[in-house]
Amino acid sequence: MTRTALVLGGGGITGVAWTIGVLHGLRLAGTDLTTADLIVGTSAGSVVGAQIAAGTHDLEALYERQLAPPGDERPARLGPAVLFRYARAMLVSRTPEAYGQRIGRYALAAAAGLEAEADRRAVIASRIMVDSWPERALVVTAVDALTGELRAFDRESGVPVVDAVAASCAVPGVWPPVTVEGRKWIDGGMHSPANAQLAAGYDRVVVIAPVGSGSGVVAGPQSQAAALVAGGARVEVVTPGAAAKKAIGHNVLDPGRRAGAARAGVVQGGGVVGVVGVVWGGGP
């Protein structure tokens, strides 16, 4: 029996919008990736993954939601000081765990000046509109702020899905680490933008990654896809094209760019349906 996996990577608020747009565009063109046997979600991808795995939200409605004005939703930013911390930690780290540990220490130290953890959790809950794990296999990634180790939360973890998604979306220096089982967790993208390695063992894999490259010890989706191919899988990676990058802009945490990113995603989804459909549908 052929098993399929959909991997959804991180990329901020605009990453959520673009990913939903791509999925919607693909389905309009005849390829529905929401039927995946496994969904792996990291950061922005965990939001989309929780929504589509639940099966309670129509993809078109999710897309239309991205087109709505941001209202009172406040933009955030990965400022120069935060990016400097990331770059410095990357330069002195030899493994993704070491990098995660250094960034985790920074996240814990910076938390006092950020939004309260409970308030952030409420934002995530309203965003995913899901309060329990789906029956479908869903994996949500986060990084232990103390050890830097990656954890894949699922319905067997005994952790509420909102907490898992909030942990996966806890961008260090922007939003506070999330407490789960007495430990602090940060954004799963600190280990990898997509964590496509978690789809190992599946026959057909599509990776939708708003962040298309890795950096230093942080593996990008293309290198992870190559490893899956070496293991016998058929894999296609979709990353933002030129038009999508322009629509997304420089601040992926700006809700004002959401509608443009979603529209660009629909167009790109329709444009890649041929190559994606071959992988997903079992063509030659």
Alpha helices in 56-133 (DSSP H): 59-67, 80-91, 96-110, 117-128
Residue by residue, DSSP assigns 182-210 as TEEEEEGGGT-SS-GGGGTT-SEEEEE-S
Residues with a known catalytic role? 43, 187
Angle at CA 268, nearest 5°, toward 14 and 125?
Answer: 30
The DSSP element (H or E) to which 139 belongs, if any, is strand 137-144
Closest by CA to 107, choosing from 134, 74, 142, is 142
